[in-house]
Amino acid sequence: MQPEKFYYDNKIVRNFGIATVIWGIIGMLVGLIVAIQLYKPEMNMHNQYTTFGRVRPLHTNAVIFAFVGNAIFMGIYYSLQRLMKARMFSDVLSKLHFWGWQLIIVSAVITLPLGLTTSHEYAELEWPIDILITLVWVVFGINMFGTIIKRRERHIYVAVWFYIATFVTIAVLHIVNSIELPVGFFKSYMVYAGVQDALVQWWYGHNAVAFFLTTPYLGMMYYFLPKMANRPIYSYKLSILHFWALIFIYIWAGPHHLLYTTLPGWAQSLGVAFSVMLIAPSWGGMINGLLTLRGAWDKVRDDVTLKFMVVGLTAYGMATFEGPMLSLKQVNAIGHFTDWIIAHVHVGALGWNGFLTFAILYWLVPRIYKTELYSKKMASFHFWIGTLGILFYAIPMYWAGFTQGLMLKEFTPEGILKYPSFLETTMRILPMHVMRSVGGAMYLTGVIVMAYNLYKTAIQGKLVANEAAEAMPLPKLNPEASTERWHRRLERKPIMFLVASLIVILIGTFVELMPTLTISSNIPTIASVKPYSPLELQGRDLYIREGCSNCHSQTIRPFRSETERYGEYSKAGEFVYDHPFLWGSKRTGPDLQREGGKYSNSWHYNHLMDPRLMSPGSIMPNYDWLITQKLDTTTTAVKIRAMQKLGVPYPAGYDKVANQDLDKQAKGIADNLAKDHIKVKSNKEIVAIIAYLQRLGTDIKAGKTANN
């Protein structure tokens, strides 16, 4: 048999590489801006499009899907071709994939600042973009499996196992979490409400971390690390064990994001138990990586790419140990909703995803350009400033998290909250927030230096767009093959492998989602909880548009420190008309679930216009545009009809008269404001959002008065 000649497509790798660097800088810059807004609200540049609530999702989407996403595709397109000994299946699909993905990102950059959002964290993009994501993902899948099928290598290497699991799980997660009912071209309502919606979202959110930020990177680590160190992988057995254990257990752990909420207790406990079991499988990847470097540690001292790898793997190990610890209820009670979580995710994102990406870029760019890295000194500078940046970021955030978490729980001996004003705890941690932005700026500086270094490298070399390679075609399966161990056999059946991974991840999915979504006893109803009035519904959509839930939670946990501070703890039945749920995941400001009736309408008006009028020192931005902008009531009817379709019991034909009720309620609020010398027309947005805020959490109080 003659070896076959073929060419690796390096151009697509280069393109994804460029996109990685550019989007990385943009995403991190946006991150820096929102970080500064947390102590200097004026950094929103006095307009709605760059205000924290709208731009924070832009930061998360840009770094996760644009920076990390492009890096994943760069790594996969480079390694998959070489591991399969074949060019990518189709150049057309590769290009479609590349430009499709960039189109998704650009549409995110446009829509998120406009306030077009589903409010589901890390899945904020509206339904037309969701469809586009699905299509591009299918293109990626066909291209990947096409390549695998026409491979010249019998068995598929562990890196590709992780790529397969990534592909199939992200597809399932994205589709289930995007089941929404469109109400116009850029607005939709989640099909599930309240507790159910929360569970679906955090099943998604947690596993986006697992299958977008973890598994593809483990796969890339398995290819690039042994290449860089020129060492064999430490243990094949460990690869098998930790791969299957990881993907099986990870999918169960989502509910640990909802501890002490109204999620049924059994689901919470499953989340905790499986999170703890995740320690070993996660560490399996780190151990296999670090022990692969055995006998190559002297190289680590000189080789900057290996330095990035080692710190990246260590950060991964720390984050995956901390995660399970944070899942323990007692720890979660303090850490949840605080900066501790921000520190935790950034150790993972900056350390693991960032550093691995940099290592791969430094290794790969000189190779596809057939040259040496332009400056090793600059790369070394990048490594040190990046590492220091992570420390300067993480340590203050941990400090802030502990400080605020503990302050919020402190009582005086008289049985009164020691810090009854939430703002007092916020002011205390502002210096830590300043320090964090310094750390972030250092990290970003490193990335910019890298971009320059890589650019110089590229122009001093020449891109080998099509790299020649040769390999023997696959021979017929020899009879010995039937004596292979079961896993070895599975390794030469990629479709079986895909199906097996799918089954493994669906087990946890079904056990956790199905009972909550179908058994009604999991969500006890409350008779006094009524659907939102049309004005409140519109106000709620403004609350979603402004991204209020990025800073304010709407779920009161059953703790003395929370019921004393905010009011009665949340009940599952209160959220049954909440499409989508708005519990939030971070309390930069106080919880708002029982906000209704706490303050007067005029307090809210003044507070939204300039929060510092009512709460001196507040870091909430001004929402003065709500006063000038007119509420769009043309959408009321279609929104009411959509809600009816989702099972919200508005009377039949209510959509036609809803705007009359809306006007009446708005006029009432405007009149009430007028009494306090505030002149505002009843058709302004601020009236709707006040109506919504005043409704929050009041339904169960109404029930009480009726009963008494």
Tokens of 699: 């339904």
**Residues 6 or more apart whose Cβ sits within 8 Å of residue 46:** 622
Per-residue interface string for the shown chain with another protein, residues 215-234, x marking contact by CB under 8 A: --------x--xx----xxx
Write out the DSSP string of 386-436.
Answer: HHHHHHHHHHHHHHHHHHHHHHHH-B-TTSSBSS-SHHHHHHHTHHHHHHH
Per-residue interface string for the shown chain with another protein, residues 6-45, x marking contact by CB under 8 A: ----------------------------------------
DSSP at 9: E
CB-nearer residue toward another protein: 142 or 238: 238
Site for another protein contains 236 (CB under 8 A)? yes
CA atoms of 639 and 182, how far apart (whole Å): 9
CB-nearer residue toward another protein: 630 or 677: 677
CA dihedral for 287, 293, 295, 301, sign (positive or negative): negative
Asked if 497 and 161 touch (Cβ cutoff 8 Å), the reply is yes
CA atoms of 484 and 488, how far apart (whole Å): 6
Site for another protein contains 157 (CB under 8 A)? yes
Site for another protein contains 480 (CB under 8 A)? no
CB-nearer residue toward another protein: 485 or 630: 485
> How many alpha carbons lie under 13 Å from residue 571 in its C-beta half-sphere?
16
**Shortest CB 156 distance to another protein, Å:** 9
CB-nearer residue toward another protein: 155 or 299: 155
Sole binder of another protein in the list 145, 244, 603, 654 (CB under 8 A): 603
Site for another protein contains 239 (CB under 8 A)? yes
Sole binder of another protein in the list 100, 146, 531, 597 (CB under 8 A): 597
Of 130-138, 266-274, 541-549, 643-651, the window that binds another protein (rule: CB under 8 A) is 266-274
Tokens of 244: 């299957």
Per-residue interface string for the shown chain with another protein, residues 117-156, x marking contact by CB under 8 A: ------------------------------------x-x-
Q: What type of residue sits at position 363? A: W
Site for another protein contains 82 (CB under 8 A)? yes
CA atoms of 119 and 187, how far apart (whole Å): 11
Tokens of 140: 């990626």
Q: Give the helix/strand (H/E) hosting 8.
A: strand 4-9
Sole binder of another protein in the list 163, 260, 363, 532 (CB under 8 A): 260
CA atoms of 705 and 708, how far apart (whole Å): 5
CA atoms of 193 and 585, how far apart (whole Å): 17
Sole binder of another protein in the list 18, 29, 277, 451 (CB under 8 A): 277
Site for another protein contains 85 (CB under 8 A)? yes
CA atoms of 68 and 214, how far apart (whole Å): 10
By CB under 8 A, the residues from 398 to 427 that bind another protein are: 399, 411-417, 420-421, 427
CB-nearer residue toward another protein: 102 or 305: 305
CB-nearer residue toward another protein: 89 or 252: 252
**Shortest CB 681 distance to another protein, Å:** 20
Sole binder of another protein in the list 107, 134, 235, 445 (CB under 8 A): 235
CB-nearer residue toward another protein: 85 or 552: 85
Long-range Cβ contacts of 662-668 (<8 Å, 24+ apart)? 662/533, 662/534, 662/535, 662/538, 662/633, 662/636, 665/533, 665/534, 665/535, 665/536, 665/691, 666/535, 666/631, 666/691
CB-nearer residue toward another protein: 185 or 384: 384
CB-nearer residue toward another protein: 274 or 650: 274
Per-residue interface string for the shown chain with another protein, residues 427-446, x marking contact by CB under 8 A: xx-xxx-xx--x--------
Per-residue interface string for the shown chain with another protein, residues 541-580, x marking contact by CB under 8 A: ----------------xxxx--xxx---x-----------
CB-nearer residue toward another protein: 249 or 648: 249
**Shortest CB 599 distance to another protein, Å:** 5
By CB under 8 A, the residues from 664 to 703 that bind another protein are: 676
Asked if 513 and 199 touch (Cβ cutoff 8 Å), the reply is yes
Site for another protein contains 69 (CB under 8 A)? no
Sole binder of another protein in the list 281, 547, 584, 697 (CB under 8 A): 281
Residue 182 sits at φ, ψ, to 5 deg, of -65, 140
Q: What type of residue sits at position 311? A: V
CA atoms of 125 and 109, how far apart (whole Å): 10
CB-nearer residue toward another protein: 153 or 661: 153
By CB under 8 A, the residues from 318 to 337 that bind another protein are: 324
CB-nearer residue toward another protein: 236 or 510: 236
SS (H, E, C) 305-335: HHHHHHHHHHHHHHHHHHHHHHHCHHHHHHH
CB-nearer residue toward another protein: 263 or 548: 263
Sole binder of another protein in the list 601, 622, 636, 665 (CB under 8 A): 601
CA atoms of 619 and 322, how far apart (whole Å): 29
- What is the widest separation between alpha-carbon atoms in the chain? 93
| SS3 category, 475 | coil
Of 107-115, 273-281, 371-379, 460-468, the window that binds another protein (rule: CB under 8 A) is 273-281
Cα 117 to the chain's mean position, in Å? 14
For the chain, the first-to-last Cα distance in angstroms comes to 90
**Rg, Å, the chain Cα set:** 26
